[in-house]
Amino acid sequence: MYINDELKPGMRDYLKKSIWTSLLQGLGAVVFGIYAFVSPIGTLGIFMSIIGLLLLFHGALLVISALMGLKRDGMWLPILAAGLLQLLLGLFIVSRADGLSATAVMLSTVGLGLIGVISGTVSLIAAIKYRDVASNVWSFISRGGLFFIIGISMLLAPFGFGTAMVRAVGLIAALLGALQAWGAVKLFKEMKA
């Protein structure tokens, strides 16, 4: 990624301060993804609890990131909305993880699908918006496209939540997390230079 001198005043400092949130999100997704792929037979309650905790963690980081960029970037509102949606869905899942009914699993899957569509759309919009500032936006495009496709597939098949789905979600989470962590490390190195 190549950062131009066209950044708004204060944006460079904001990026330096908020890179760690993106790196933590990516690493958290990698750990979750590896666990889900390696141990898909674990109970659905445990799996849903981990998803709920990941959503709480990721949602909180998105809210913090959005509030840090409140006056610097026009993308803060969709990021805040995605973070709040993730926090609400995470609370719903964690509060019901020990006794999930088929309806709760379906609602959770629909919620995850909506998060995927929203997060994918926000990432794709950010890639388009900042294409002149950053010369390599492939991590944003790849992440956004994967999130969007996964979100649509979860919305179209909310009851397909079996072992294969757990492994698929784990693999995709690990890939998305690796892309996000890679982008954060690369941006951190450029911001340091």
Question: For residue range 170-188, what is the model confidence (pLDDT) as tens digits?
Answer: 888 888 888 888 888 887 7
Cα distance between residue 183 and residue 153, in whole Å: 25
Q: At 34, is the pLDDT very low, low, confident or very high (cuts 50, 70, 90)?
A: confident
101-106 CB contacts, 8 Å cutoff, 24+ apart: 102/159, 105/44, 105/48, 105/159, 105/161, 106/158, 106/159
Q: At 8, is the pLDDT very low, low, confident or very high (cuts 50, 70, 90)?
A: low
The reported pTM is 0.53
pLDDT value at 29 more than 80: yes
Question: What pLDDT, on the 0 to 100 scale, is given for residue 175?
Answer: 86
Amino acid at 99: G
Mean pLDDT over each residue of the chain, to the nearest integer: 77
Q: Is the dihedral of CA 102, 97, 57, 64 positive or negative?
A: positive
Burial class (CB in 10 A: 0-12, 13-18, 19+), 180: buried
Q: What digits encode the pLDDT tens for the residues 71-98?
A: 666 677 777 888 898 898 888 878 876 6
The pair of three-digit structure tokens given for residue 53, joined into one six-digit string: 């905790």
pLDDT value at 1 more than 80: no
pLDDT value at 27 more than 70: yes
Cα distance between residue 12 and residue 69, in whole Å: 11
Q: Is the Cβ–Cβ distance between 35 and 170 less than 8 Å? A: yes
pLDDT value at 42 more than 70: no
pLDDT value at 2 more than 50: no
Q: What digits encode the pLDDT tens for the residues 97-145?
A: 666 666 667 777 787 788 888 888 888 887 887 777 766 677 778 888 8
Question: What pLDDT, on the 0 to 100 scale, is given for residue 4?
Answer: 52
Question: What pLDDT, on the 0 to 100 scale, is given for residue 18?
Answer: 72
